[in-house]
Structure 1
């Protein structure tokens, strides 16, 4: 479904190598202590340390003021809980609403925050390939927990600077479309949902349409997807020619997928942009809006059908 690898542009995603670089380390200054993530199932489960414990947070949410001591060492990835929540525990691949600030340690400047998201709460899919920073901050803590995460500059790569993340997972977000059902569009494939919301698609008799067609199956009322947004979706893709599945988030432990609208084939992009979060859409695309005549591709010259649940959308911040 993707036509090229996702190019992540935000400060938030600059730490995508965080888990790979740090998941093997134990608690700060305690190399003889067993790694707690080994038994908990957590990917990192960052522990408190001298730096994270020394950070002062006054207030909460987007109004919080984060103060970092000038002599803070930033010797390791450290996480300190400043207020414990009472909700379900957050784990990798969860979709959660997050209030956060990312602060430049040396200056106290807020370099990114959830203020740029609708309502000041950013939808975050805890995918270790593109949101490892938030996995480190939020995993293995209950919903409602407020944390500070101390990040040495080295986790951001060469030239990186020390940063502090103040974050709270406010709520679990739906992982299926929650919009109002819409009457089916005549001539389009039939979609049925099981009790968990997983779709199946039945292809009608006849030839595939010559142009991309999009039908709304459920009408959401959330934020509108814009071109270039980072979206979170559940999806199922089948070939018009035989109705066989070729790609599906539902087949990967029903974990949602995340990508930019500009990082997928044209027909999929047309299905997403302009739609509202909470919607479920059905798209039928000819090869010209799919994979065309790409030699060696299993979808060469195939008309494709997708049903897509749109779960979240976030504008992508220009690279700092």
Structure 2
């Protein structure tokens, strides 16, 4: 059985216990990532080790589906976390995109409920540390195996997670650079991948225009996917940035890609690893002036979008 992405599953599993303060976006708005804040001490944010998490005996290699033995029913009063294998890779930092695998057990019966990430068939989306997963991952190193005991909520029973930290994913598009498209805004990238945009001295287009700046090599985004991405938004008329993920320290993701229509159209059909430039007229953004009270109504919007991962709707629902 496949698991939903960790951020989504942990909302149901942990409720307010671990995800207090994790904000979501509205269906028609550009989303805002949330986190522990710049300079947060991820080691101290991680859930503490305790008798419950330390009582779980795990067998199997890191990166392979785990077996766990514990006395059931296992009483889990509060979240506990024990690192049972210390990896020798890079340490997770605030804003890191973490690739992981997990086996999840019902704490009351020992039954395996879900497992994912041990093959590439339907890999879970990487999780941004700083988006509610901090107490799971903390400052663990790549190659680590973590046992996490999670108390029951109204949405889920008490759980035991065996979580493998497989790697840290890129936070910027890595695809093959493409030739610029004449008439489109000019994009320059800083060393960390942060874009800047220069608007051409011309009238704004009246139709949606999309140009691929980097051609990725990953899974293709489909309708209804949940896509992890970086974005940088500019007002065509003023050339000013009105919103971006880069300054907030983390990529973003909204279940089902519930962004404005032109933004979604620019994503669908693009492979992961791509960077896409899209010019969105008002009708496919926030509506014409006078038709909406949104501050961006009547505006032609320009977005540079880095597509970092995607989770198909059918896989996320399993």
Structure 2: give runs of 5+ residues left out of the alignment.
1-5, 22-39
Match of 2:126 in 1: 124
In 2, the alpha carbon distance for the partners of 1:20 and 1:221 equals 33
In 1, the alpha carbon distance for the partners of 2:128 and 2:135 equals 9
Match of 2:231 in 1: 235
Q: TM-score, normalised by structure 1?
A: 0.82
Q: What are the within-5 Å matches in structure 2 for residues 269-308 of structure 1?
A: 269-293=264-288, 294-308=291-305
Task: Tell me: CA distance 1:67–1:230, structure 2 relative to 1, closer, same or farther (3 Å).
Answer: farther
Check conservation: 2:42, 2:134, Cα contact below 8 A.
no
Matched, 1:258 2:253: yes
Deviation at 1:98, TM superposition (A): 0.6
Check conservation: 1:43, 1:92, Cα contact below 8 A.
no
The root-mean-square deviation of aligned C-alpha atoms, in Å, is 2.7
In 2, the alpha carbon distance for the partners of 1:278 and 1:268 equals 17
Task: Tell me: CA distance 1:159–1:244, structure 2 relative to 1, closer, same or farther (3 Å).
Answer: closer
In 2, the alpha carbon distance for the partners of 1:101 and 1:81 equals 15
Check conservation: 1:137, 1:165, Cα contact below 8 A.
no
Check conservation: 2:128, 2:251, Cα contact below 8 A.
no
Q: Please say which of residues 42-51 and 120-129 is displaced more in the overlay.
A: 120-129
Check conservation: 2:72, 2:109, Cα contact below 8 A.
no
Check conservation: 1:62, 1:101, Cα contact below 8 A.
no
Match of 1:145 in 2: 144
Residue aligned with 2:148, SS: strand
Check conservation: 1:99, 1:120, Cα contact below 8 A.
no
Match of 2:135 in 1: 136
The aligned length equals 291
Task: Tell me: CA distance 1:159–1:292, structure 2 relative to 1, closer, same or farther (3 Å).
Answer: closer
Check conservation: 1:96, 1:124, Cα contact below 8 A.
yes
Deviation at 1:90, TM superposition (A): 1.5
Matched, 1:178 2:180: no
Deviations 1:188-208 (A, max 9, x none): 111111222211111112222
Task: Tell me: CA distance 1:319–1:233, structure 2 relative to 1, closer, same or farther (3 Å).
Answer: closer
Matched, 1:214 2:210: yes
Match of 1:11 in 2: 9
In 1, the alpha carbon distance for the partners of 2:44 and 2:279 equals 38
Check conservation: 2:42, 2:94, Cα contact below 8 A.
no
Q: Please say which of residues 194-203 and 274-283 is displaced more in the overlay.
A: 194-203
Q: TM-score, normalised by structure 2?
A: 0.82
In 2, the alpha carbon distance for the partners of 1:190 and 1:227 equals 28
Task: Tell me: CA distance 1:119–1:82, structure 2 relative to 1, closer, same or farther (3 Å).
Answer: farther
